[in-house]
Amino acid sequence: MKKSQIYATIKNMSNKLARKIKRKQEKSKLKQAKKELSNKIQNIHLPDICKNCKADFDKKSKEMAMTWMVVAKENRKHLICPECWEKIKKLTRSHETQEDQLDQHQIP
């Protein structure tokens, strides 16, 4: 065998190997992509009860979809029904007004 022939054989072999490795990498990439996709779907998947009062959320109801709140916390999503949302809003609002009054009292 000539030297050039040997080189050609080696080159051919390494090409085949490279292709094999590439195919393997692509397969694992595909696997990873699928895994990520299923993770994303799980993240999209929402609970179907109110986090606060455990009221049922009807996924088919357009009205509910419009009025219920989604709260994202620590990569999780929670549903809050309009009633509980109002309560939470009132709580935070009254807290704010209390602070405002406190400020007014401090003025001499």
Residues that bind Zn ion (CB under 5 A): 50, 52-53, 55, 81, 84
Residue nearer to Zn ion on the CB measure, 53 or 91: 53
Token pair listed for 88: 């939470």
**Nearest distance from residue 87's CB to Zn ion, in Å?**
8
**Nearest distance from residue 59's CB to Zn ion, in Å?**
16
Q: How many CB atoms lie within 10 A of CB 99?
A: 9
d(CA 57, CA 80): 9
On whether the CB atoms of residues 80 and 51 are closer than 8 A, the answer is yes
**Nearest distance from residue 50's CB to Zn ion, in Å?**
3
Residue nearer to Zn ion on the CB measure, 36 or 67: 67
On whether the CB atoms of residues 57 and 64 are closer than 8 A, the answer is yes
Residue nearer to Zn ion on the CB measure, 67 or 94: 67
